[in-house]
Amino acid sequence: MSQDFRLDSVGLINRDKKLSFKFNGKKYFGYEGDTLASALLANGVHLVGRSFKYHRPRGFFGAGVDEPYAIVQLYRNNETEPNIKATEQELFEGLEAKSVNCWPSVNFDIGAINNFLKIFLPAGFYYKTFMWPKSFWYRIYEPFIRKAAGLGVASTKHDKERYEHKYEYCDLLIAGSGPSGLSSAYAAAKNGAKVILAEDKPRFGGSLLTDEVNIGNQSGKDWAEGIIAELKTMPNVVVKNRSQIFGYYDHNMLVMSEKVSDHLPKTKKYHPNKRLWYIRAKEVLISSGSIERPIVFGNNDTPGVMLSSAAKEYLKVYGVLVGKNPLIFTNNDSGYETAIEFQKHGVQPTVLDSRKNPESEIIDEAKSLGINIKNSYVVVAAQGYKKVKSADVASISDDKKQLGKIENIKCDCICVSGFWTPSIHLASQSGNKTKFKEEIDAFVPGTSKQQETTLGAANGVFSLEETLKTSFEKGRELSKKITDNDNEVSIPNVVEKKSSKHDKFWCVPLPAGKNYKRFLDFQNDVAVSDIEIALREGYRSIEHVKRYTTLGMATDQGKTSNLNGLQLVSEIENKVVPAVGHTTFRPPYTPISIGAIVGREVGKHSKPTRKSPMHSWHEKNNAVFVDAGVWLRPRYYKRGNENLFDGSKREAKNVRKNVGVCDVTTLGKIDIKGPDAAELLNRVYTNAWLKLPVGKARYGVMLREDGIVMDDGTTTRISENHYHMTTTTAQAANVLSHLEYYLQLVWPELNVNVVSTTEQWAGAAIAGPKSRDLLQKLFPNSDVSNEGLPFMGYMEGDLSGVEARIFRISFSGELAYEVNVESDYGNFMWEKIMEVGKEFNIQPYGTEALSTLRIEMGHVAGSELDGRTIPYDNALEGLVSKKKDFIGKRSLQRSAFTAEDRQRVVGVVPLDKQTSIPEGSHLVKDDKAPLPNPKLGHISASCWSVEYDNPFSLAILKDGKNMIGQKLFAMSPLKNKIIPVEIVSSHYVDPKGERVRS
């Protein structure tokens, strides 16, 4: 298909490189340097989608980030991405895109029936229409809305692309590479400041690419190219295109999204798709320019109606005519600039100017070119359904209230200019209190809150000469403050045409008897009538009107709609715009891929994976791993076709019968040293610590100040002033912070140092009746007899030349030891234990067997110490000292904590001795009681008791102390189970604890 709307030799595209692409399945051609929008327009395609609510045909309205409706679903390299603006997407070979909001197709859309059922969808329709009857919501409303609406479909596949994060610091961060950004960057760079210049478009230069101006005796475009080329050679300057600064956060941190690969058919090897820059800047210069605003008239959403600046950009940058019979509708001189460009390229436009007698250099030029101009004329309504075919136009009275006789004139596009709105988003995000500037009918930044300055059009300054002057000066002044250099740069002379004042006119009145939709917010389909309804229904605050009507709440954040919405509210309410106030701008300025925000922290990279030094041994021996916090631990060692249940049962049985070895490296370890170490432990733990002898370990429980158990573990006195504390795997980091808190802030007088040694030691628990025999063989030179190393004893040993720490402590309830060696020797230790243990039938055991062993012994662990229980609840009140004070003690006096029927840990056995009780099940008295059935407690941990060969669980049960022997029901609605159970002691096996002391 030929590109009927492409001009010869106009624009900045590369005509030597032709690119093919597909839109809605049909093949087209464009050129390198095109956007999807410009390439489609070159092929005469104006219909790109359907609107969100009414499914009206929609085309292109802008040419960049402000685009409210040309949103497509993009297909690239077997991936798909929704919510892509066709005006921003650069063309590449093989690009494929489809319309969104269309069902079944863009040309025939069932949802468009909404357009004829407007009664269904007025302002607040989400809140009103779909609320009743309730039963309709799931069956009818939601499926209908889901099918008919939305801005595309997210991919369900794993995103293969890579996204990088980068942290950067600079003196000056400059947003925008138009005349203002270039000038300030240049001046600051000359003073040696570290500058980052960011441009969201592929090409630098901003308005200089399309404006007919002269700077320093060359065209604006050539001047911009020269400055950029020089900046790129300077080592203190980073120049980035395709990079959108989208968020201004606290303490002058800004975030920028750099599109590294979106313009390519496929991301290059080792390249990211996008790079997110976190930039901490000393000074920020906002040169984000301005966005043309529309004038509101009937059917102003018809494809072919677009901003006049966009039409000019399509022509000058892409060599594309958006129409061959254009109608320009303007209230200021900008429309004439577009008209002049059309005229110069052989197309005769008609200009309708709402002003009565405007006079300026630009208008004189338009007149001299013979352009047809009608003053005090407006477009009343666009005509044509899928494309503008003509326009109803009329003269308008001086007070802009009365329309003259309506005439219809033929045209194929309507280019609108309602003057310019500064892009104040970044300034506003920084906390800047913006102010309304009467002369331009728009808000501009006011008092800076952070180190930010807004310059040029973004600051409401539309004169190029003034913009260059202030920007050069500001760049020089700010950089001088930072670098102390003051190099003078001469400000170039500027030739620009003077323009005349714009008309304070933004909405064409409805002609008598006509009910045209006049849209304010094109993406969310908010029309003038919706705002009127909201106000009639009593909404006054602009924030409420926004939420009720969804004005400005779409993904374009109302870039083209906000001010006209405010004008309407102020007019109806008879207030001035500043009194109405504008809604808050929040980041991001433009939609950002979730992938870019997440960066590399996906999947396994979302947190570090920690492995013990014995990990590769576990792997080689068929360990099935489980995530334990950030650690990977063997859950069981699979033999043959064994499943988890059988494997863990075998391992646990072997511990009870022979001996097993478990990797306990993951336990938190804290080294505590200093003359006051015992005093610290005495204050941190609930039990007494001042008299623990050297070479002895003690079990301890620590509380938070609110009396809740924080952690438990054993601490061993290695020498006079040296202790080795262990914590649970999960709480290791919190316990260290906890100790540091008290040592640094509460009791700085204590002479103690604490440091984490979790990584320094590899640990193996050796448990079972044959563990002593094994240990003796491992340490032939040590006396590990019951007398030489009694329960809770500690000694140092020599493991074939490696220094080892031996603790006689037990988690499994069996006779057990824990051996620690320096991490580097962990694997050596493990292999030695396995080798020597062979004659004792040793087997390694994983976390599942470990749990089984501790559960049937009634040893509490993380599932009981769950941040909601006190020592009594865990049957640990015997460890709570009555004599001394400690952290959290005072809280234990709270009446709820001393209640007679306080919850307490118990054992639970199913009556049938067969059915395993799901963890989390509720214990209730009556399984038939009406819901909500009063809960007496919950199952905290379940196992298959290897001692008794039946299921056994631990539970935290109200009045648990007096419930032993009672019959209750364990209910798990989640697993659809109701199990009759008996409450027993939590110490199911070896209740007197004889084995550990044997």
Binding site for another protein (CB under 8 A): 167, 249-253, 278, 280, 431, 449, 683, 705-706, 737, 740-741, 744-746, 748, 884-885, 890-891, 893
Q: Please say which residue, 691 or 883, places its beta carbon nearer to another protein.
A: 883
Min CB(607)–another protein separation in Å:
14
Our CB check for another protein shows the closer of 431 and 980 to be 431
Residue identified by tokens 């240990």 is: 775
d(CA 350, CA 959): 88
Q: CB of residue 434 vs another protein: minimum separation in angstroms?
A: 16
Place of tokens 């302002």: 123
CB-based burial label for 674 (10 Å; 0-12, 13-18, 19+): middle
Coil, strand or helix: which one is 197? strand
Task: Tell me the three state secondary structure of residue 215.
Answer: strand
**Shortest separation between residue 885's beta carbon and another protein, angstroms:** 4
Per residue, the 3-state secondary structure of 784-835, as one string, reads CCCCCCCCCEEEEEEECCEEEEEECCCCCCCCEEEEEEEHHHHHHHHHHHHH
Query: What length is written for the chain?
Result: 998
> For another protein, which is the closer residue by CB, 126 or 249?
249
Cβ at position 602, least distance to another protein in Å: 18
Shortest distance in whole angstroms from residue 29 CB to another protein: 46
Give the whole-angstrom CA distance, residue 880 versus residue 871: 8
Q: What is the DSSP letter of 212?
A: -
Q: Nearest distance from residue 714's CB to another protein, in Å?
A: 24
One-letter amino acid for residue 394 of the chain: A
Q: Other C-beta atoms within 10 Å of 899: how many?
A: 12
Token pair of 328 as six digits: 């320009």
The CB-side HSE value for 537 (13 A sphere, CA atoms) comes to 16
Among residues 167 and 645, whose Cβ is nearest to another protein?
167
Q: Please, which residue, 173 or 941, has the CB nearer to another protein?
A: 173
Gap between the Cα atoms of 609 and 403, Å rounded: 72
Q: Alpha-carbon distance 669 to 761, whole Å? A: 8
Positive/negative CA dihedral, 625, 627, 629, 635: negative
Reading the block at residue 810, the tokens are 């037990």
Pick the closer one to another protein by CB: 263 or 610: 610
Q: How many CA atoms lie within 13 A of 628 on its CB side?
A: 26
| Sign of the alpha-carbon dihedral angle for 980, 984, 987, 991 | negative
Structure-token pair, residue 985: 């002691």
The distance of closest approach from Cβ of residue 867 to another protein in the complex, given in angstroms and rounded to an integer, is: 15
Nearer to another protein (CB atom), residue 658 or residue 756:
756
State in angstroms the smallest separation of the CB of 706 from another protein: 5
- What would the DSSP string read from start to end of 831-849? HHHHHHHGGGT-EE--HHH
Distance CA 31, CA 974 (A): 59
The nearest distance, CB 537 to another protein, in angstroms, is: 33
Quick check: 287 and 505 in contact, CB under 8 A? no
Nearer to another protein, 706 or 949 (CB): 706
Least separation in angstroms between residue 567's CB and another protein is 31
- Shortest gap between Cβ of 977 and another protein (angstroms)? 39
Q: At what angle do helices 528-536 and 562-573 cross, to 10 degrees?
A: 40
Beta bridge partners of 526: 521
Tell me the two tokens of residue 358.
């405007």
Q: For the chain, give me the number of helices (H) and strands (E)?
A: 23, 50
Distance CA 29, CA 364 (A): 39
Of the candidates 662, 673, 653, the one whose C-alpha atom is nearest the C-alpha of residue 752 is: 673
Q: Provide the pairing of β-strand 95-99 with 71-76.
A: antiparallel
Query: Whose Cβ is closer to another protein: residue 250's or residue 398's?
Result: 250
**Whose Cβ is closer to another protein: residue 56's or residue 738's?**
738
Residue with Cβ nearer another protein (278 or 791)? 278
Smallest separation, CB 671 to another protein (Å):
14
3-state SS, residue 781: coil
- The CA distance from 663 to 333, in Å, is 79
Q: d(Cα 416, Cα 307) in Å, to the nearest integer?
A: 5
Pick the closer one to another protein by CB: 683 or 724. Answer: 683
**What's the closest the beta carbon of residue 905 comes to another protein, in angstroms?**
25
Check: CB of residue 750 under 8 Å from CB of residue 743: yes
Judge contact between 664 and 833, C-beta under 8 A. Answer: no
Smaller CB separation from another protein, 382 or 703? 703
Minimum CB separation of residue 591 from another protein in Å reads: 21
Among residues 913, 923, 934, 910, the alpha carbon closest in space to that of 972 is found at 923
Comparing CB distances to another protein, the nearer of 219 and 451 is 451
Alpha helices in 321-409 (DSSP H): 334-344, 361-368
Angle at 487 between CA 482 and CA 492, to 5 degrees: 120
Closest CB to another protein among 127 and 169?
169
Is residue 630 classed as helix, strand or coil in its secondary structure?
Answer: coil
CB of 704 to another protein, least distance (A): 9
CB closer to another protein, 280 vs 961: 280
Measured from the CB of residue 865, what is the shortest distance to another protein in angstroms?
Answer: 19
Compute the distance between CA of residue 237 and CA of residue 864 in angstroms, rounded to an integer.
58
Q: CB of 708: closest distance to another protein in angstroms? A: 11
Helix or strand (DSSP H, E) at 427: helix 425-429
CB of 599 to another protein, least distance (A): 13
Of the two residues 120 and 249, which places its CB atom closer to another protein in the complex? Answer: 249
- Judged by beta carbon, residue 357 or residue 893, the one nearer another protein is 893
Is the backbone peptide bond immediately before 326 cis, with ω within 30 degrees of 0?
no
